Amino acid sequence: MSDKTAACSFCGQEQTAHIPLIAGMNGHICEACVRLAHQVISTWSRKRSMSEPLKTPPKPLQIKAILDGYVIGQDTAKETLAVAVYNHFKRLNLETDKPRICTRTDKSVVELDKSNILLLGPSGTGKTLLASTLARIVGVPFVIADATTLTQAGYVGEDVESIIARLLDSADGNKELAEWGIVYIDEIDKLARSGENSHGTRDVGGEGVQQALLKLVEGTTVKVPAKGRKDQAPVMLDTRNILFIVGGAFSGLEKLLEKRLKPGAKGIGFHAAHGNPTDGRDAKFCVSMVLGEVQPEDLRHFGLIPEFIGRFPVITALHELDEDALVRILTEPQNALIKQYQQLFALDNAELEFTNDALRAIAQKAIAHGTGARGLRGVLETLLRKLMFTLPSEENVARCVVTEDVVKGEIEVVLEYRLPDTSDSVAEESESGLIPQTTVG
């Protein structure tokens, strides 16, 4: 036997009482080289798993064109999201070719950091729809979470790390793929701290969640329990490269902005400015235009902590939808509501038709409800509920016409019937084949 001291075949580290080596058929390896080899192999796995979605990353114009097919208006928000997703793909490409885990320091490699996004706008302007549509475009895991269900760790409810667990499920358990995902957190404005708490209780669902989200958004290692057998080791996920997008209505923020932006708002007594709070022009100014002037200081006054605001450098606002935009939402998108209801009626062999005046009347009702585009379905359900109840029992209904008077509740929906099949002679005399001016009672 040779008395020569064993050494690592990779780095040359000699074996000592405190540094054991793993012996192989023709060599040895130390613990440090085993860890380094594991990192290198993990990089190879990441490169294989990410090469497929990165072959043809969509360009910003292509992403916006797809969003235009589902979401009407909001061009600024769509451009912001398109650029963010495209830069996310470029960051994946760079880290796939030149990963941060390397065996030597290379000062020529510039690491690209992510720019998280904050979306704000009134309810029903399309924040959640933009996020869900974006999920269809990207080739990486995408998760939509609700901030109202989150609490601090140790309290009843879901903690912030449950979002990462859902992202891992979206990646079908692929750890490397999940580390490149995109997370959208809705209703983020509900986490605003409530100011001075007179009861002395902890705000476990507001500021506490903001504090818990800090390390998650910035980049940390999250331990995700393994599903299945209890003896399986948990999965460790690095959130450093996960793109976070948050959105909220931020109701009441326009009042804070109005104080800062509108001149002549200061002064008391005879020097105070007498404005008309019911002026529709001022209300429209507050909601539609002033949100585009949001600064981090305004969000801090609203109730978000400065550390949380600083982790979302990109702030973009969605404007309130007017009547013309709501009419376009009813008819133009690929999954427009009018098209959906027409499809439902087509399954009963009937056509559904809306006049232009009826569409505008529906949009006006949604605006009056104050729920934006989200209120359009409620208006249509109320309008067509009685007709959808009786139509399956009707025979030979060919067309249902909804006019402005129908939307206003002045008349019932006009039904046009087909002539019976037995009346062949009468059918030949009729050019349209329909019996008009019949209403449903």
Is 173 labelled as part of a ligand binding site? no
Residue environment code for 204-220, b if the CB has 16+ CB neighbours within 10 A, otherwise e = bbbbbbbbbbeebbeee
Q: Is 11 marked as binding a ligand?
A: yes
Residue 51 — pLDDT band, cuts 50, 70, 90?
A: very low
Q: Give the Cα separation of 21 and 4 in Å (integer).
A: 14
Tell how strand 243-248 and strand 235-238 pair up. unpaired
Q: Does residue 152 fall inside a structural domain?
A: yes
Is 124 one of the annotated binding-site residues? yes
Please check whether residues 30 and 94 belong to one and the same domain: no
Residue 237: alpha-carbon gap to chain centroid: 22
Angle between helical axes of 337-346 and 323-331 (0-180°, round to 10) = 40
Phi (first) and psi of residue 343, to 5 degrees = -65, -40
Same domain, 122 and 134: yes
Residue 370: pLDDT band with limits 50, 70, 90 = confident
pLDDT reading at 175 higher than 50: yes
Q: What is the mean pLDDT of residues 26-41?
A: 82
* CA–CA distance, 3 with 195 (Å, rounded to integer): 73
Same domain, 382 and 400: yes
> Is residue 106 one of the residues assigned to a domain?
no
Residues 136-148 pLDDT 10s: 788 788 899 988 8
Same-domain status, 258 and 332: no
Residue 418 bridge partners (DSSP): 434
Q: How confident is the model at residue 276 (pLDDT cuts 50, 70, 90)?
A: very low
Residue count of the chain, please give it: 441
Among 32-46, 47-61, 404-418, the minimum mean pLDDT is found in 47-61
Predicted local confidence at residue 401, as pLDDT: 94
How do residues 234-253 score in pLDDT, each as one tens digit? Answer: 888 888 888 899 998 888 88
**What mean pLDDT is predicted for residues 427-434?**
50
400 is in an annotated binding site: no
Burial (CB < 10 A; 0-12, 13-18, 19+), residue 305, is middle
Do residues 179 and 58 both lie within one domain? yes
Query: Is position 33 annotated in a ligand binding site?
Result: yes
User: Is 81 annotated in some ligand binding site?
Assistant: no
| Separation of alpha carbons 392 and 384, rounded Å | 13
Provide the domain count of the chain: 3
pLDDT in tens, 148-162: 888 776 566 677 888
Range of the structural domain that residue 16 is part of: 1-51
**273 in any annotated domain:** no
With 0-12 / 13-18 / 19 or more C-beta atoms within 10 angstroms meaning exposed / middle / buried, residue 26 is: exposed
From 315, 318, 316, 265, select the one nearest 288 (Cα to Cα).
Answer: 318
Q: Which residues pair with 414 in a beta bridge?
A: 401, 439
Q: Under a CB-based contact definition with an 8 Å cutoff, are residues 438 and 394 in contact?
A: no
Give the range with max mean pLDDT: 66-70, 96-100, 255-259, 260-264: 66-70
C-alpha span between 214 and 304 (Å, rounded): 12
pTM of full prediction above 0.85? no
Same-domain status, 246 and 395: no
In this structure, what CATH number is given to the domain that contains residue 221? 3.40.50.300
Structural domain contains residue 12: yes
Q: Is 30 annotated as a binding residue?
A: yes
> Is the domain of 341 the same as that of 296?
no
Domain boundary, last residue among 13, 30, 51: 51
Q: Is residue 149 part of a domain?
A: yes
Looking up residue 433, the CATH number of its domain turns out to be: 1.10.8.60
Residue 286 assigned as binding residue? no
* Long-range contacts of residues 263-267, Cβ cutoff 8 Å, at least 24 apart: none
- Is residue 271 domain-resident? no
On whether residue 172 sits in a domain, the answer given is yes
- Tell me: do 327 and 313 sit in the same domain: no
Residue 330 one-letter amino acid: L
Element (H, E) at 165: helix 161-170
Check residue 342 and give its pLDDT.
Answer: 95
Within a domain: residue 285? Answer: yes
Same domain, 62 and 133: yes
Q: Is there a contact between 389 and 412 (Cβ–Cβ < 8 Å)?
A: no
Q: Rounded CA gap, 360 and 315, in Å?
A: 32
**127 marked ligand binding residue:** yes
Predicted local distance difference test score (pLDDT) of residue 279: 47
Return the higher-pLDDT residue of 393 and 205: 393
Same domain, 314 and 331: no
In this structure, the answer to whether residues 342 and 418 fall within a common structural domain is yes
Helix (H) or strand (E) holding 321: none
For residue range 103-146, list pLDDT tens digits in order. 445 566 677 778 899 998 888 888 888 888 888 788 788 899 98
Residue 191 known to bind ligand: no
Buried b (16+ CB within 10 A) or exposed e, 397-407: bbbbbbbbebb
Q: Based on the fold, state whether residues 134 and 35 are members of the same structural domain.
A: no
9 assigned ligand-binding residue: no
* Alpha-helical runs (H) found in 303-355: 306-310, 323-331, 337-346
Q: Determine the average pLDDT of the residues in 329-336.
A: 90
Mean pLDDT in residue range 339-345: 94
